[in-house]
Amino acid sequence: MKRTVVIVTDRKLSPPRAGYAARINSLVRGLRGAGYRVVLIAPRLRGRLSPVLPAVVSTLRLRQSVDRLISVEATPFWRGPLAYDCSPFLPAIARAVRRFDPVAVIAVYCWMAPCLDAVTNGALTAIDTLDLMHVRVGLYGAVEKGAWVECTAGEEAAKLDQADVVIAIQRHEQREFQAMLPGKRVVCVPHMVWPAAPGRGAARGDVVTFIGSKNDGNALGVQKFIREAWPLVRAARLGAELRVYGDVGGRLPNEDRTAEGVRIMGFKKHLAEAYDEAAVVINPVQLGTGLKIKTLEALAAAKAVVTTACGAAGLEAGAQSAYVLEDDMQRFGGAVARLLADAEARAALGAQGSEFVREHFGPRAALRELLEVIEARVPRPAPRPLFTAEEAVQRVR
């Protein structure tokens, strides 16, 4: 019988417009690939979870993506102090524990820590952090609603301390969480990707693609690119087209939305099509924390990627080999133009990027540390004796 891992989140996964949705989906997919049954506990969903979780939702079951979905009537946490009311989730978790006897229960984001009180069967408890929350206030400063979560390092540490294991999404955050919680086991589980087949990343034409949700980092980054880098790209490649996918397009001023060669594509149900049509994928963000999942996914799609240091957070080992890194927007635009003009260079860069993520962010490598602590917690059956007690007596005689 398969062993069960329960994942509990307050995030609404439909429509799938944010990195946390991709993260949860990759965690589900990776654990199932490792042989575990996965039960997802989440706010009640209606309609389809497509394309991130492509399945029709019924009351208790989410086919094709998780083994079981338990829906909860709850409102997601938003901003404010870490005093989120997790009580709507507790009965669902208790029910899942009784029914499935999980070997591990993973809460997504630190404010979901009180949910772990409902784990009464001795299962390993973990919190998937996704980000260092307390640093966001200082980083985003005066950006309206940019911090999203407002907490101190002490408040964050107190929440995380309620779990047996803390899960970081990148190595430098693993070190910082370990410093915050010196007696706690902290493991790193990078965001998992499944790289495209060799040769998949090639694309003709002069299409430059940016995909992003409506957060401030995305909006400010693509705005800066359009104003400072895009004119250089257009001067070198007159037919170049910038396609902006996702909610971020709605955050741009009209002058940027209507700039020459810019197309606001909006929400795209199947992002694979957007990647297939892209010659170059950009991530010009200069504000933000955490691993940039959209950069990682573009690399996994074997695309030629140009990004900033912020957009490459957590992917530093691949700089200038798996992707082009430029923080200056003039040089950024020049790099995009050169790649548009050189199909062979694009294909080579895309292949190197795909191989980089295969090695570092494939499910086997990404899940290694987490699976080790889960397996260490699972009771192992006592070895079967070679002889019965009676047989042993006879042999002594």
Looking up residue 296, the CATH number of its domain turns out to be 3.40.50.2000
Number of structural domains (the chain) is 2
- Separation of alpha carbons 201 and 257, rounded Å: 27
Examine residue 257 and state whether it is found in any structural domain, yes or no. Answer: yes
pLDDT at 337 over 90: yes
What pLDDT does residue 13 have?
Answer: 76
Q: Do both 355 and 340 map to the same domain? A: yes
Q: Are residues 46 and 165 in the same domain?
A: yes
Query: How confident is the model over 40-64, as a mean pLDDT?
Result: 50
What's the average model confidence in pLDDT over 352-371? 91
Candidates 30, 33, 44; CA nearest to 76 is 44
**Are 290 and 235 members of one domain?**
yes
Same domain as 106, residue 28: yes
Task: Report yes or no on whether pTM surpasses 0.75.
Answer: no
* pLDDT for the residue numbered 122: 94
Name the E strands within 225-287.
241-245, 262-266, 280-283
Q: Is residue 74 part of a domain?
A: yes
pLDDT of residue 145: 60
Across the chain, mean pLDDT equals: 85
> Is 348 a member of any domain?
yes
| DSSP per-residue string spanning 112-160 | GGGGGGG--S--EEEEE--S-GGGHHHHHTTSTT-S-S---HHHHHHHH
Q: Are residues 162 and 75 in the same domain?
A: yes
Contact 108, 157 (CB under 8 A): no
Q: Is the pLDDT of residue 59 over 50?
A: no
**225 lies in some domain:** yes
- Beta strand 207-211 with 37-43 is unpaired
In a domain, 78, yes or no: yes
Regarding whether 51 and 187 lie in a shared domain, the answer is yes
Contacts of 284 (CB under 8 A, 6+ apart): 210, 221, 222, 224, 225, 229, 307, 308, 311, 329, 332
Q: What is the pLDDT of residues 109-132, one digit of tens each?
A: 999 999 999 999 999 999 999 988
Residue 22's pLDDT band, with cuts at 50, 70 and 90, is confident
Q: Is the pLDDT of residue 67 over 80?
A: yes
In a domain, 289, yes or no: yes
For the segment 198-257, what is each residue's pLDDT rounded down to a tens digit? 555 566 679 999 998 888 889 999 999 999 999 999 999 999 999 999 889 989 999 999
Given a cut of 50, is residue 42 above it in pLDDT? yes
74/86 Cα distance (integer angstroms): 8
Q: How confident is the model at residue 51 (pLDDT cuts 50, 70, 90)?
A: very low
Which residue(s) pair with 207 in the sheet?
Answer: 241
242-289 tens-digit pLDDT: 999 988 998 999 999 999 999 999 887 778 889 999 999 999 998 876
Q: Are residues 295 and 153 in the same domain?
A: no
Q: Which of 39-53, 125-139, 296-310 has the lowest mean pLDDT?
A: 39-53
Residues 354 and 370 occupy one common structural domain: no
pLDDT band at 48 (very low <50, low <70, confident <90, very high): very low
Same domain, 225 and 267: yes
Q: Does 391 fall in a domain?
A: no
Q: Residues 269, 367: one domain? A: no
| SS3 label, residue 4 | strand
**Is 397 domain-assigned?**
no
In this structure, are 109 and 12 located in the same domain? yes
Residues in CB range of 78: below 8 A, 6 or more apart: 148
Residue-wise pLDDT tens digits, 376-395: 987 655 445 554 445 544 54
Same domain, 147 and 234: no
Domain span including residue 140: 4-191+363-377
Give pLDDT, residue 162: 96
State what percent of residues in the chain have pLDDT above 90.
Answer: 56
